[in-house]
Amino acid sequence: MVNPPSSLFDRIAASIEPDPAWAMLLLEEFSQNANWKRAHAILQQLTSEAVDYELVNPEFPAVVIFRLKPEDIRDAVLKLTEKGYNRLKAIDSRMT
């Protein structure tokens, strides 16, 4: 028997369905320096379009879903990882 996901991040990650039009990046912040607003600014630098987001949990640790063009998702994960974010999950219907 599989144990249910324990954290809010894990439960949200397990419930997300891929969107054929957008890639999604689920992020959980874990410090004041690696917060979701800073992550949003970093992602905004990757694309000329506005980065759509949904703040799923506004309390610390915040959990947010960013919606990006599918071709930007790999660079987004790489850039955020380089900046110290490590609680990420990329969801892209092209990769399922």
Inside any domain, residue 88: yes
Inside any domain, residue 5: no
33: left (phi over 0), alpha (psi -120 to 50) or beta: alpha
Q: Which residue has the higher pLDDT, 91 or 31?
A: 91
Number of domains in the chain: 1
CATH classification of the domain holding 67 = 3.30.70.260
> pLDDT tens digits, residue range 37-72?
999 999 999 988 889 999 999 888 899 999 999 999
Residue 72 gets which letter from DSSP? G
**Which residue type, as a one-letter code, is found at position 32?**
Q
Residue 96 confidence (pLDDT) above 60: no
- The model's confidence at residue 90, banded by pLDDT at 50, 70 and 90, is very high
- Quote the mean pLDDT of the chain: 88
| Segments forming the whole domain that contains residue 70 | 22-95
Inside any domain, residue 86: yes
Inside any domain, residue 69: yes
Pair of tokens at residue 17: 């369905």
- pTM, two decimals, is 0.86
Inside any domain, residue 3: no
Distance CA 66, CA 54 (A): 7
